[in-house]
C-alpha cells in the first residue's frame, strides 16, 4: 500500500506512520509542524518515509496513493479559541483531501473527535444528536458532513473515527494541549505540581495510541465505504484516579486543585464501542496501567520514543 498521512509528524500521525512503515508500506508525510516534530519527521525519514512540508492541501500535488489518513488538523479546542481562523484552514485542507480522493480513487480515514458529544449523557453512541459547542467541534462536525456529501455525490470512500482521550509516547510537541495523562506524567518526572481544574472527579475514556493506530488500519482494510465510529475503551477514569495510578507507578505527583474557568467544559466522556466492535472488529487491548507504564518509560528517556 502507498499511503499519505497528513499530520504525520504529530502525536497520533507519527505513531501511525511508524506502524505503516513496519508493515512494509510506502508512506508520505504531509505536515506543517504546527504541533508536529521535525525531529520525529527525521527519524521517520530514516525509516523510509517521505516528507512534504506544508499544509494538508499539499496533497493536491501528490501522485496517486491508495490511502489518505487525514490527521493534519489542530486537535485541541483552546487552539481554535485562541485563533478561530484555524477553522477556515480545516475547511480548505479537507476539501483538498476529498477532491484528491475524488480524482484518484484513494480511500480516506480521518480523525474526528468525541468532543462532538458535549451536551449528551454518556455513554456516547454514534447516533446521538450533535451540538457543536466551539470552533473545534464545529470543524470536525463539518468534516463529517463533508465526507457524507462526497460519498453521496461522488462515491468517495471514507471512514471517520471519533477519537476519545488518546495518550501515549511522542506527545511532547503538543505541550499544554497534550492529553492529561501525559501532562501528569511530565509533571511527575519534572518534579513540579500539576493543576487540576475542579475537584478531580471529571472523567475521560482514555485510550492508548497504539490501539488508535489499530483502529485506523482496521477502518482502511474494511469493506465499509462510508461510516463514523467511536474509538475508545468503553471505560471512564477520573483525573484523581489517574493521579493515584501515577503514584502507584512509583512517581511523586503533587496535585493542586483550582476552580474551573473553562466554559462548555466536558465533565465526562465514555464511548459506546459496540458499533466499532461489530462492524470494524475493533476492540482496545492496552489497559490503562500498562499504558501508563509504557509512557513513563518513554518519557524518562532523553530521545523521542514512538509506540513502534
Q: What is the separation, in whole angstroms, between the first and last Cα of the chain?
A: 19
State how far the alpha carbon of 123 is from the alpha carbons of 56, 73, 84, 231, in Å: 33, 26, 30, 13
Question: Among candidates 131, 126, 115, 124, which has minimal Cα distance to 235?
Answer: 124
**Residue 126: is its pLDDT beyond 90?**
yes
Per-residue confidence (pLDDT) for residue 183, from 0 to 100: 97
**How many other C-beta atoms lie within 10 A of the C-beta of residue 259?**
6
Which residues are annotated as catalytic? 136
Res 264: pLDDT:
75
- Rounded mean pLDDT, 279-289: 98
- Judged against a pLDDT cut of 80, whether residue 94 lies above it is answered with yes
CA 285 to chain centre: 17
- Residue 263 pLDDT level (bands cut at 50, 70, 90): confident
Is a pLDDT exceeding 90 seen at residue 75?
A: no
Please calculate the CA angle 163-166-168 and round it to the nearest 5 degrees. 150
Give me the pLDDT at residue 1, please. Answer: 96
Average of pLDDT values for 258-269? Answer: 87
Largest CA distance in the chain: 56
Which region among 4-13, 49-58, 81-90, 193-202 has the lowest average model confidence (pLDDT)? 81-90
Quick: pLDDT tens for 147-172: 999 999 999 999 999 999 999 999 99
Q: pLDDT class for 76, splitting at 50, 70, 90?
A: confident
Whole-number Å distance between alpha carbons of 136 and 143: 11
Buried b (16+ CB within 10 A) or exposed e, 192-229: eebebeeebebbbbbbbbbbbbbbbbbbbebeeebbbb
- Give Cα separations from 240 to 110, 136, 184, 263, 297 (angstroms): 32, 26, 11, 21, 21
User: What is this structure's pTM?
Assistant: 0.96
Inter-residue contact 229 to 110 (CB < 8 Å): no
Among the residue ranges 83-92, 119-128, 144-153, the one predicted with the least confidence is 83-92
Question: Residue written as cell 482514555?
Answer: 206
Answer yes or no: is pLDDT of 85 > 90.
no
The average pLDDT across 231-247 equals 97
Q: Average the pLDDT over 280-304 and give the result.
A: 96
Q: What is the pLDDT of residues 168-218, one digit of tens each?
A: 999 998 888 899 999 999 999 999 999 999 999 999 999 999 999 999 999
φ, ψ at 28 (rounded to 5°): -110, 125
> Would you state the cell numbers that stand for residue 93, as one nine-digit string?
485542507
Mean pLDDT of all residues in 8-13: 97
Bridge partner list, 236: none
- Can you give the pLDDT at residue 82? 84
Q: Average pLDDT over the chain, rounded to whole?
A: 95
Q: Say which range, 73-87, 170-184, 221-235, 242-256, has the weakest mean pLDDT.
A: 73-87
Domains in the chain and their CATH numbers? 2-299 (3.40.50.720)
Q: What b/e sequence results for 70-90 when a residue is b if at least 16 CB atoms lie within 10 Å of its CB, and e otherwise?
A: bbbbbbbbebbeeeeebbebb
pLDDT category of residue 234 using cuts at 50, 70 and 90: very high
Confidence at residue 176, expressed as pLDDT on a 0 to 100 scale: 87
Amino acid at each position: 500500500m502507498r499511503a499519505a498521512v497528513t499530520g504525520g509528524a504529530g502525536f497520533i500521525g507519527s505513531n501511525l506512520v511508524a506502524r505503516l512503515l513496519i508493515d512494509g508500506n510506502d508512506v508520505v508525510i504531509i505536515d506543517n509542524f504546527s504541533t508536529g516534530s521535525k525531529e520525529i519527521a527525521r527519524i521517520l525519514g530514516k525509516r523510509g518515509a517521505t516528507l512534504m512540508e506544508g499544509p494538508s492541501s499539499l496533497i493536491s500535488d501528490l501522485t496517486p496513493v491508495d490511502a489518505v489518513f487525514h490527521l493534519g488538523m489542530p486537535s485541541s479546542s483552546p487552539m481554535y479559541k485562541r485563533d478561530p481562523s484555524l477553522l477556515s484552514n480545516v475547511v480548505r485542507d479537507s476539501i483538498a483531501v476529498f477532491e484528491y480522493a475524488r480524482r484518484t480513487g484513494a480511500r480516506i480515514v480521518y480523525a474526528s473527535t468525541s468532543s462532538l458529544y458535549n451536551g449528551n449523557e454518556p455513554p456516547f453512541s454514534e447516533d446521538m444528536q450533535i451540538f457543536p459547542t466551539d470552533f473545534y467541534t464545529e470543524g470536525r462536525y463539518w468534516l463529517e458532513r463533508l465526507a457524507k456529501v462526497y460519498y453521496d455525490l461522488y462515491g468517495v470512500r471514507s471512514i471517520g473515527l471519533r477519537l476519545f482521550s488518546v495518550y501515549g509516547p511522542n506527545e511532547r510537541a503538543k505541550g499544554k494541549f497534550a492529553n492529561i495523562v501525559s501532562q501528569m506524567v511530565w509533571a511527575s518526572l519534572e518534579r513540579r505540581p500539576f493543576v487540576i481544574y475542579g475537584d478531580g472527579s471529571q472523567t475521560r475514556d482514555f485510550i492508548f495510541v497504539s490501539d488508535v493506530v489499530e483502529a485506523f488500519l482496521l477502518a482502511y482494510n474494511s469493506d465499509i465505504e462510508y461510516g463514523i465510529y467511536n474509538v475508545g475503551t468503553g471505560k471512564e477514569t477520573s483525573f484523581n484516579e489517574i493521579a493515584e495510578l501515577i503514584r502507584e507507578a512509583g512517581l511523586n505527583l503533587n496535585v493542586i486543585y483550582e476552580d474551573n474557568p473553562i466554559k462548555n467544559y466536558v465533565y465526562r466522556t465514555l464511548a459506546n464501542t459496540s458499533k466499532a466492535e461489530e462492524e470494524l472488529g475493533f476492540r482496545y487491548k492496552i489497559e490503562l496501567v500498562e499504558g501508563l507504564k509504557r509512557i513513563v518509560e518513554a518519557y524518562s528517556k532523553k530521545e523521542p520514543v514512538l509506540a513502534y
